[in-house]
Amino acid sequence: MTTDSIDLATVLTPVAPPVIRDAVYREDEYERMLDVIKRNGPWKGIIANHFSSVDEVIATVTGNIPADHGLTLDDIADATFRGFFAKNSVCLYPELEDIFYNSRFIEEVKSYWNAQYAKPTLMLFNICGPHNTSLAPHLDAVTFRGVRIENTPVWLQNMMGKSGLFTEYLVKMAQVITWWYKGEPGGFTYWPDGPFGAPQNLATPMWNRGVVVQNELMFHRGDPVGPLEDRVIDGLKHRSLFGYDEASDSWEITTDGDVVKRYQPDQIRLLVHWNAEVYKDREEMEKAMDHSDDLTHDRVIETFLADLRGRGIKIADPTDPLRDVEFMQTLMNVYDVAPTQDWLTEPS
């Protein structure tokens, strides 16, 4: 283990272990969120929401795959689907405003950080039935002053986090993440002591059970969902969609309008992710609000290039650094770090 990796292990450790909570939402809140999901689908997959190439996905997760991997987004299509209740501190559905602007959650994340201020920033959901998931741990999009999910590809945010080069610009974040799933398996595996520490697992069944957590700097993943025999999905593609069919009271994955998988309500695993920025004091809050010390994309790329060249790595200036595959691959090769211990090595 190198000095660099030990330093990164410190960087990639949350401010505190996840705090487990039961009965996170009231029943009427759950019903309203589920109703929005039913009425406003179908929904795109997580990968389709955030990534335009396989390389971006790899850079966001962990591990290096050769540049000539030949994979397409259809090859790595995942059957977890995503939608947003709120973005950029704006609730997209008026009937959920009281849930998004949630004083209970604000107090939870302030306590988690021992901070004075917090503001909700986004709220999303992941929904799925039984399927095999990738076992690769990941970080959520790491937020920096000036460089954030609203203006930056997720892969670059996470590579910035893994590099440890931009920690002075890191925005404190916390999430309240809650699950509804009575089946098995389908739990939440996380590495609260950094990538070289032992993982922990929040196991299913879990209904309205959640965690207060800093997922941007804690490796984690959702485990394979449901019985092995129910996980096969023929015809799943990157463009597949997920929605509710009221006539049959069932959920469907469709590809080009054709149903390729149907689930009954008791097979569905729902995750709701509430997110907030947190500020330890008024000075930190004002620095974030007035943008007096923000990063820019140009500065981020310059910092990466200077660090790479300082390591003796020859690299040309990328012409389109937010999409340049060669640049992406170089960052992956140099800064990738991943957990070294696991409890689950294959879908089961």
pLDDT at 259 over 50: yes
Q: Give the pair of three-digit tokens for residue 100.
A: 């998004």
pLDDT on residue 64: 59
pLDDT at residue 28 tops 80: yes
Using the predicted structure, report yes or no on whether residue 85 has a pLDDT greater than 60: yes
* Residue 81, phi then psi, degrees to nearest 5: -115, 155
Beta bridge partners of 181: 206
335-346, pLDDT tens digit by residue?
888 888 886 654
Q: How far apart are CA 95 and CA 86, in angstroms?
A: 12
pLDDT category of residue 63 using cuts at 50, 70 and 90? low
Are 57 and 50 in contact by the 8 Å Cβ rule? The answer is no
Instruction: List pLDDT tens digits, range 123-147.
Output: 999 999 999 988 888 889 999 999 9
Sorted by where each begins, the domain ranges of the chain are 3-335
Q: Identify which has the larger pLDDT, 3 or 96.
A: 96
Q: Does domain 3-335 have CATH number 2.60.120.620?
A: yes
- Residue 12: the pLDDT is 86
Calculate mean pLDDT across residues 205-226.
Answer: 95
Q: Which residue has the tokens 């310059």?
A: 302
Are residues 346 and 74 in contact, defined by beta-carbon separation less than 8 angstroms? no
What confidence category does residue 209 fall into, taking pLDDT thresholds of 50, 70 and 90? very high
Contacts of 263 by beta carbon, 8 Å cutoff, 6+ apart: 129, 130, 250, 251, 252
Query: Using one digit for the tens of pLDDT, what is the confidence trace for 149-170?
Result: 999 999 999 999 989 899 999 9
Pseudo-torsion of CA 209, 214, 217, 220, nearest 10°? Answer: 0
